[in-house]
Chains A and B, each alone.
Chain A
């Protein structure tokens, strides 16, 4: 659309003009409110993360950080707004694995090269859970049953073409064929194994804490290189003989790619400080998402590796 094209061009020009005055600007960065774009609607994981982080970043940066929810197109509507904002650090956004997966499927007009990832602040492996009354007590039983009866077991996931889907496809290629049942509404997905509508659910533990603590969900398998410290009894997919790339669900904070280095450094330091606070530690241990924030090249790498892994599966 030409109108949007024009807007983008104007925004890019402005971004260019602003970066000319960059060094002077960065000296006393930040001196006005920083807008944090949450790329999904209120109530979801990205929203809770964004609002929590904004609250903890405010004292670190000394300015207010109003949160704006810009939802649509798997998070790409918000990211387009971010990438066309002036690259001066006064606009940040959430960039999460779901959106990166959508790029691989051809959604959106953004890519990893349009953003500078300040830090990966949350990252969590996914699990296969069953309901407490499920006949499967261990991962071995589940896998044995799936091997013997291809396509008989159903798994609730967040959709086709997501990391959930890729994990199931890889398992199917290695002889364990379970049916992907896409539930895009989280509430319905969580209810599926409890109501006996699906046999298994593929989920990150932070989103189903309530069911884990009440014992209604039983974790069977973790998709990670090592066992999770909170779930020492749950075997990894590698231990059970699966050969796969581990696709963690991650949530990052990003700014437009052209943002000057010193501004990024300032934001990075603030994020590291904010995630070191007790409040953040309490939040992340509640949601099983604690990690040493990945920054710089490593953070950027996480995003592109994830995208390539998804794209490789889709291209088959």
Chain B
């Protein structure tokens, strides 16, 4: 991120520091600086209706938002310093290479699947959502045998239902409307209710 890497740079390269590099290295601390400056204004939804005593409810988070801004500023200075030193030494930073192949499209698919699950869970209820989720995730993970997929997702969902709704008496979502009716029927069918 900054600092440490400079000492390790020993490639005899030359390239002057490009604007793109400067922007990419300042984006994160810049974002934090903005966060630290903007968020104090959004601390409360409505005007406070309390008697003034002590430091008030805004003191503690205020201090740490200021801290974020100050640290971000120091960070920016450190980055600029490092870039300056880099340019002066006429050396480019070594590109941090990935240790292992990272499949970003798969990661993106996984994230979409997670969001879809979060959105579906309260609507269709845990039994249906979990079955679909296990099915899709295993498919994404490279399991293509349809029998295995069905068995894993159905048995897995049943096990989770039994442990958490049956034994631990946790009120997992049953969904709304017709899905609630289905979940109640299903829970009675597997003798949890």
Judged by CB atoms under 8 Å, the answer to whether A and B touch is yes
- In the complex, A66 Cα to B168 Cα: how many Å? 11
The reply on B159 being an interface residue by CB < 8 A is no
- In the complex, A316 Cα to B52 Cα: how many Å? 12
B153-193: contact bitstring with A at CB < 8 Å (1 yes, 0 no)?
Answer: 00000000000000001010000110010000000000001
Chain A interface, number of residues (Cβ within 8 angstroms): 18
Minimum CB distance partner of A64 in chain B: B169
State the majority secondary structure of interface residues on B: loop
The reply on B8 being an interface residue by CB < 8 A is no
Interface residues of B in 1-57 (CB under 8 A from A): 46, 49-51, 53
State the majority secondary structure of interface residues on A: mixed
The reply on B122 being an interface residue by CB < 8 A is yes
Say whether B176 contacts A160, CB under 8 Å: no
How many contacts between A and B, using CB within 8 angstroms?
29
Say whether B193 contacts A106, CB under 8 Å: no
Say whether A180 contacts B169, CB under 8 Å: no
Interface residues of A in 132-176 (CB under 8 A from B): 160-161, 169
Q: Which residues of B contact A33 (CB under 8 A)?
A: 193
Q: Which residues of A contact B171 (CB under 8 A)?
A: 35, 66, 68
Say whether B169 contacts A66, CB under 8 Å: yes
Say whether A32 contacts B193, CB under 8 Å: yes
Minimum CB distance partner of B180 in chain A: A14
**What residues make up the interface of A, taking CB atoms closer than 8 Å to B?**
7, 10-11, 14, 32-33, 35, 66, 68, 105-106, 160-161, 169, 180, 314-316
Q: 29 A-B pairs, CB-CB below 8 angstroms?
A: A7-B122, A7-B176, A10-B176, A10-B177, A11-B176, A14-B176, A14-B177, A14-B180, A32-B193, A33-B193, A35-B171, A66-B169, A66-B171, A68-B171, A105-B49, A105-B50, A106-B46, A106-B49, A160-B50, A160-B51, A160-B53, A161-B50, A169-B51, A180-B53, A314-B49, A314-B50, A314-B51, A315-B49, A316-B51
